[in-house]
Amino acid sequence: MIRDSSVAATFRDWQIVLKILIYSLYFAPDLTGNGKYCGEMAEWLAQMGHEVRAVTAPPYYPQWRRPPEYAALRYYHERWRGTRVWRAPIWVPRNPSGSARVLHLLSFAATSWPLMLRQLLWRPEIVLVVAPTIASAPMGWVVARLTGATAWLHLQDFEVEVAFKLGLLRRQRLQQLMLTIERHLLRRFDRVSTISGRMFERLLSKGVEPERTFLFPNWVDLSLFDLGKCTQRMRSELSISPNAIVVLYSGTLAAKQGLEIVPAVARLLLDRAEIIFVVGGDGLMKPQLQQASVNLPNLRLLPLQPADRLGELLGMADIHLLPQSPAAADLVLPSKLSGMLASGRPVISTCAPGTELAEVVAGCGLVVPPEDASAMAKAVLRLAEDEPLRHELGRRARLWAERNIEQSTVLNRAFDHALLGRDRRSKTTTERETGTGTAADSPLSGGP
């Protein structure tokens, strides 16, 4: 029997060597969302000595464009920081509306299945399916069952409900059909995880047994954020005064973010020359934001920044903005929040009272009603004019990050949960090299 994750020993302490297959539409070098986290997880696992493979698509998000080096109809095999990566062709629509987005997701599910079947000969011990997209879940489950692997489904958001609440899909019968399929799939996996407490509660409401579920929040590498480091270089590049109050949004520019509010707030504060708004990122809403920023000298737009500048970018801010569409409340917890908190800066978020996002931000920032530009402008002014308050809320933000979302702690705990209940499908490094060892000898089988 595997030891409970509540004991002092962790996944890392066991020194287990596992074959881990990550099946995800998004992967590195995507810089935001699932791609960022799947890439970081794969790199972390490989550094610990595990055998890691990934089946994914070519990088295309959040720009919704394939790089020119990836042809539309070709398969690719690469190595990325210790991980063998297979990339399946995918149709990327120019205008990812509701029906086009569904076809886009189905195209990956269809083209990736030969790559997943190829992994049967490798015989993975954990098959981790990351959703979105839930359309990939059936093939991930099949491969896990055929190889005796742990079938693990991780939900970054409830994509079916998000799609209907945001109006991307509208037909009621289609919604009921997709939700029924989703519930059926969720109940078939050995382990099901998600990123927030409210999403966890929703998971249980869909009939998933509590003993098969666990919380797997998005993490942050705290070493990327040197709180004492000077952050003037990026300000200089943007011609922003060292004494300015920088109000920053950085991340995917998508509809569910509710980003229309940012230029509206900048317009309300045009007379406060010391307050500069910066929006960094890429996505479908970028043209709309570019148009809205015309005649707003206090609003700067930045392209998506490389990963090695993330800490510098977020540390440049005095205040972070985290708008969110009210339709997505408690169906997603914005992944960008982890970096904001780790930077040690206060956050202003638009969310309804009682949501999990509101509860987290209330301890290290200010919460304002969704889609209320006037309320957000007042919150920006309050923090801009109260430096001690900014510093205190920023201190609390960093402390929350250290206690709750440090990378190694989160990943160790998640794989502890993923391995619970397995009998013997893994060996220690020595056993792999020598071919010796029994089930009773395995660190997965008993005491320390």
Judged against a pLDDT cut of 50, whether residue 428 lies above it is answered with no
Judge whether 18 and 426 are in contact, CB under 8 Å.
yes
Look at 300 and 444; give whichever has higher pLDDT. 300
Model confidence pLDDT, tens digit, residues 88-101: 999 998 877 767 88
Rounded CA separation 384/380 (Å): 6
Model confidence pLDDT, tens digit, residues 364-404: 999 999 889 999 999 999 999 999 999 999 999 999 999 99
Rounded CA separation 302/276 (Å): 13
CB 231: neighbour CB atoms within 10 A? 19
Judged against a pLDDT cut of 50, whether residue 444 lies above it is answered with no
Per-residue confidence (pLDDT) for residue 227, from 0 to 100: 66
CB 194: neighbour CB atoms within 10 A? 26
Judged against a pLDDT cut of 90, whether residue 285 lies above it is answered with no
Rounded CA separation 220/342 (Å): 7
CA gyration radius, the chain: 22
Mode of pairing for the β-strands spanning 245-250 and 76-80: unpaired
| Residue 76 main-chain phi, psi, to 5 deg | -135, 145
Per-residue confidence (pLDDT) for residue 80, from 0 to 100: 96
Residue with tokens 């990123």: 195
DSSP codes joined into one string, 361-420: HHTTEEEE-TT-HHHHHHHHHHHHT-HHHHHHHHHHHHHHHHHH-BHHHHHHHHHHHHHT
Q: How many Å is the maximal CA-CA distance in the chain?
A: 74
Mode of pairing for the β-strands spanning 365-368 and 347-350: parallel
| Residue 136 main-chain phi, psi, to 5 deg | -85, -15
Closest to 162 (Cα-Cα) out of 259, 255, 90, 253: 255
Closest to 322 (Cα-Cα) out of 355, 368, 291: 368
Task: Tell me what the mean pLDDT of segment 436-445 comes to.
Answer: 30
Superfamily of domain 11-219+406-434: Glycogen Phosphorylase B; (3.40.50.2000)
Beta strands in 81-160 (DSSP E): 83-87, 126-131, 150-155
Rounded CA separation 18/6 (Å): 21
Q: Do domains 11-219+406-434 and 225-404 have the same CATH topology?
A: yes
Rounded CA separation 259/267 (Å): 14
| Residue 171 main-chain phi, psi, to 5 deg | -70, 125
Contacts of 221 (CB under 8 A, 6+ apart): 40, 407
CATH of domain 225-404: 3.40.50.2000
Per-residue confidence (pLDDT) for residue 441, from 0 to 100: 30
**43-71 burial: b if 16+ Cβ within 10 Å, else e:** bbbbebebbbbbbbbbbbbbbbebeeeee
Task: Tell me what the mean pLDDT of segment 57-77 comes to.
Answer: 91
Judged against a pLDDT cut of 90, whether residue 14 lies above it is answered with no
| Residue 215 main-chain phi, psi, to 5 deg | -90, 130
Judge whether 278 and 317 are in contact, CB under 8 Å.
yes
pLDDT band at 230 (very low <50, low <70, confident <90, very high): low
Judged against a pLDDT cut of 90, whether residue 81 lies above it is answered with yes
CB 398: neighbour CB atoms within 10 A? 18
Per-residue confidence (pLDDT) for residue 435, from 0 to 100: 42
For all residues of the chain together, what is the average pLDDT? Answer: 85
Task: Give residue limits of the domains in the chain.
Answer: 11-219+406-434, 225-404
Task: Tell me what the mean pLDDT of segment 261-266 comes to.
Answer: 95
Closest to 394 (Cα-Cα) out of 343, 322, 357, 356: 343
Rounded CA separation 14/18 (Å): 11
| Residue 19 main-chain phi, psi, to 5 deg | -95, 115
Model confidence pLDDT, tens digit, residues 325-354: 776 655 667 888 999 999 999 999 998 888
Rounded CA separation 54/28 (Å): 10
